[in-house]
Structure 1
């Protein structure tokens, strides 16, 4: 690792409490977008490449634990400590529907075809909502062995992946039968689970270990011990030769996928790192922290790859100019600064 090079991230302010989840949209005709979940109760939408703030989704009355965008970045979803999951119009910021639950919602995910929304939380129930009939009762799968921490769809929406806050392992559910068909065993609870863009790997973080599983045969491919307890990990989506991890030491570590050797370490956060994610093109990645900030870092080049250094400004060769996403900003409900105190009280009351 070349200690002379110091990574200078784009620092995204706006949240008043810890950032606990990040999600990048796929690349759309308007570029790609980044949504963040925070204990301040207000998910935020940003330009995924520049980090520029686009808008804030207002309506939750408790900490927001999870957030996601559909494949076209036209709708957003969020899960909250206020016992609800909400569906949003990502162009205007309007709340399209609120799905009520009986306890805290910790995780949410759109199906690949964007017609379904999956939620999970403290109730130990996976719920599948039909977004074409949002008022219809959801399908419920209620055999989760613990409080649900993460959920995602894989295998063209035929399989659901979930992990729990209080017990180890990742469970794979057959959507048709609603039964667990496979469990990927881990010693500690899995706090982050990611399905790779090429469909080959499931990346998990549990305790001080990052593991890579074969996403089709479910065998363990690689397991690496981390320098500290990590809460989140993400595999570079295009080449797949490096991965990132962040956790309690407040740093974002970069590792070689094939050897597990640490090839970089980004310092800058002032609190534990709760979430890390690569952007869809792999040229940068974002981290969210207890300090309330999001930082977007340039992926280090290797093997004489062309250098698109951040230096002290935005990523070079930005594909999405401000005017190209202006239609997303126009009409978006902007947060009112005067509401900050009310939001803090509401978030604190429902924070768990």
Structure 2
């Protein structure tokens, strides 16, 4: 009997506490990037392809619950238990803005045009900050029925979706009116909500099910029961024929989108999986866990006869590392103050 091949993940160390959120940038002229949020209060930026560490954003004084990159991967944002959401220069690591809140910030997201940031959290208020006028008061939508767990933009930044920590459903807000125009009903609280790259689907994880919704007509397209309680799910972005889910049993499962059939089951984490995300090209996906590690799994043929993972914490001799496209970012986190100022000016011109 042929020995079954076992997927070998790249293991990204560096966080000292659980990893609770992951976000991939779109593909940029410099490649694509992965940012992670952790309860250790220090979001980290990595090469999205190799997992190699680029830099750490230092300044939060509490657990970081949410993180994201803008469309060009020039700025990062993070939401924290220290009652702030921060904007960072992703080239230099510098803090650009800190937006004060009255309670824990659980979620944040850049608009597609990169000019706005939406935040949500324990206050049950959605806030929209104008990044062109960071000192101006934010717009506030204060009718969320529960603590905000996730936020995302869709429909060309005309709509915001949010889910709550303590009640089921996904709420869709009209940005112009600030009112909820639709609710996607679920039995359990939605712990993960993702808008597909082509804007067609909303992927949600609630309880032990993963659901796919029509992002334009809001109907339920598919719903699959999972083998355990899942915290996060992500749809393959290019073809849309596969999805991943991870949760309390510590495994990351790959499924067929059309049938719900399990294609692969990746074992390796030593704690519940809090977040999973596909890379923008669909060639790999990342998982973040209670064990403090990020693992990057190849969708394709990267296999090994044993289950040993390849560690990566910066450049590793075991990896064929292609870092030309991220040299600018790596240098940015290590340069002098004068050089930082120059790079900042360059980034604003892009």
TM-score, normalised with respect to structure 1: 0.89
**CA displacement 1:102-126 (0-9 Å, x = unmatched):** 0000000000000000000000000
Distance between the aligned counterparts of 2:101 and 2:219, measured in 1?
35
1:73–1:310 distance in 2 versus 1, CA, 3 Å: farther
> Does the residue aligned with 1:332 lie in a helix, a strand or coil?
helix
Alignment partner, residue 205 of structure 1: 205
Matched, 1:284 2:317: no
> Does the residue aligned with 2:79 lie in a helix, a strand or coil?
strand
> Does the residue aligned with 2:6 lie in a helix, a strand or coil?
coil
Structure 1 position 310, deviation (Å): 5.6
> Does the residue aligned with 1:280 lie in a helix, a strand or coil?
coil
1:320–1:142 distance in 2 versus 1, CA, 3 Å: farther
Unaligned stretches of 5+ residues in structure 1: 301-306, 335-352
Matched, 1:321 2:335: no
Moved over 6 A (4+): none
Distance between the aligned counterparts of 1:258 and 1:17, measured in 2?
36
Structure 1 position 199, deviation (Å): 1.2
Please say if residues 123 and 147 of structure 2, whose CA atoms lie closer than 8 Å, have aligned partners that are also in contact: yes
Please say if residues 108 and 151 of structure 2, whose CA atoms lie closer than 8 Å, have aligned partners that are also in contact: yes
Structure 1 position 319, deviation (Å): 11
Alignment partner, residue 243 of structure 1: 243
Alignment partner, residue 338 of structure 1: none
Please say if residues 56 and 333 of structure 1, whose CA atoms lie closer than 8 Å, have aligned partners that are also in contact: no
**CA displacement 1:276-327 (0-9 Å, x = unmatched):** 0000000000000000000000114xxxxxx4x265769xxx9983233111
Distance between the aligned counterparts of 1:310 and 1:28, measured in 2?
28
Alignment partner, residue 76 of structure 2: 76
Alignment partner, residue 342 of structure 1: none
Distance between the aligned counterparts of 2:12 and 2:297, measured in 1?
11
Distance between the aligned counterparts of 1:56 and 1:310, measured in 2?
30
> Does the residue aligned with 1:330 lie in a helix, a strand or coil?
helix
Please say if residues 70 and 114 of structure 1, whose CA atoms lie closer than 8 Å, have aligned partners that are also in contact: yes
Alignment partner, residue 181 of structure 2: 181
> Does the residue aligned with 1:36 lie in a helix, a strand or coil?
strand
Distance between the aligned counterparts of 1:320 and 1:173, measured in 2?
43
Distance between the aligned counterparts of 1:57 and 1:3, measured in 2?
43
Distance between the aligned counterparts of 1:74 and 1:91, measured in 2?
6
**CA displacement 1:196-215 (0-9 Å, x = unmatched):** 01111100000000000001
Structure 1 position 175, deviation (Å): 0.3
> Does the residue aligned with 2:91 lie in a helix, a strand or coil?
coil
Please say if residues 272 and 290 of structure 2, whose CA atoms lie closer than 8 Å, have aligned partners that are also in contact: yes
Structure 1 position 229, deviation (Å): 0.1
> Does the residue aligned with 1:77 lie in a helix, a strand or coil?
strand
Please list, as runs of the form range in 1=range in 2, the aligned pairs for 1:151-162 lying within 5 A after superposition: 151-162=151-162
Structure 1 position 333, deviation (Å): 5.9
**CA displacement 1:21-65 (0-9 Å, x = unmatched):** 000000000000000000000000000000000000000000000
Give the paired residue count. Answer: 323
Please say if residues 45 and 53 of structure 1, whose CA atoms lie closer than 8 Å, have aligned partners that are also in contact: yes
Alignment partner, residue 348 of structure 2: none
Alignment partner, residue 67 of structure 2: 67
Alignment partner, residue 339 of structure 2: none
Please say if residues 31 and 319 of structure 1, whose CA atoms lie closer than 8 Å, have aligned partners that are also in contact: no
Alignment partner, residue 127 of structure 1: 127
TM-score, normalised with respect to structure 2: 0.90
> Does the residue aligned with 2:7 lie in a helix, a strand or coil?
coil
Unaligned stretches of 5+ residues in structure 2: 313-318, 336-350
Distance between the aligned counterparts of 1:236 and 1:32, measured in 2?
16
Distance between the aligned counterparts of 2:326 and 2:230, measured in 1?
34
> Does the residue aligned with 2:328 lie in a helix, a strand or coil?
helix
**CA displacement 1:135-172 (0-9 Å, x = unmatched):** 11000000000000000000000000000000000000
> Does the residue aligned with 2:170 lie in a helix, a strand or coil?
strand
